[in-house]
Structure 1
Amino acid sequence: MSKQTNILQILPATGWVAVYDESGEESAASLVCFALVETLDNGNRQQEVRPMHANGKRIAFADEAANFLRVEELAEFTGDEEDDEEEEAEDEVDA
């Protein structure tokens, strides 16, 4: 018997991004929505929430990409970069 996956509900993902590994650097892409998904595999039901992003003219599960790392709030992702830049600037001043 094969796996069957059904989307039960979608929820907006405003302000959330999928974070990907791009040759050792992290990049982010806006999410379109979160999907409550139910998978039926050999009679076993499993439900989970999965992130979805725009992939050209289609919407796809972000977590299926080989370089997918995590889901994060955009403010946290951009905040991490700003913190790193501030630390680097402080290090240069101290040197």
Structure 2
Amino acid sequence: MSKPTNILQILPATGWVAVYDESGEESAAALVCFALVETLDNGSKTQAVRPMCADGKRIAFADEAANFVRVEELAQFEEDEEDEEEEEDTEA
């Protein structure tokens, strides 16, 4: 059974992506927002900031996907991808 979670606040996530593992390759999906959430677990409340992505016609917590890896700034993700491509070209 999932723990009761309430969204307390929504924050913009412009320029941030959720990174997923797609069969050993990383892919990125733009974040819609960050959510400040409060979770009740055995009478104890905890707060956390969680990433949210569009999932078809709804918005879902990105970190609930089985293949979720991390959250990263889009510019950094693109830079890392370019570095990997350069390394592959050098190795070839």
- Please give the range of the TM-score, normalised by the shorter of the 2 chains: over 0.9
Match of 2:83 in 1: 83
1:18-33 map, 5 Å: 18-33=18-33
Task: Give runs of aligned pairs for residues 37-76 of structure 1, distance below 5 A.
Answer: 37-76=37-76
Counterpart of 1:12? 12
Alpha-carbon distance in 1 for matches of 2:16, 2:24: 21
Count of matched residue positions in the alignment of Structure 1 and Structure 2: 91
Q: CA RMSD in A?
A: 1.3
Q: What code does the residue aligned with 2:71 have?
A: V
Q: Which runs of 4+ in 1 moved over 6 A?
A: none
Q: Distance in 2 between matches of 1:33 and 1:22?
A: 22
Q: CA deviation at 1:22?
A: 0.5
What is the TM-score of this pair, normalised by structure 1? 0.89
TM normalised by structure 2 equals: 0.92
Q: Distance in 2 between matches of 1:64 and 1:80?
A: 24
Fraction of identical pairs, as percent: 81
1:51 to partner: Cα distance:
0.2
Distance in 2 between residues matched to 1:24 and 1:90, nearest whole Å: 21
Segments of 5+ residues of structure 1 without an aligned counterpart are: none
Max Rg structure:
1
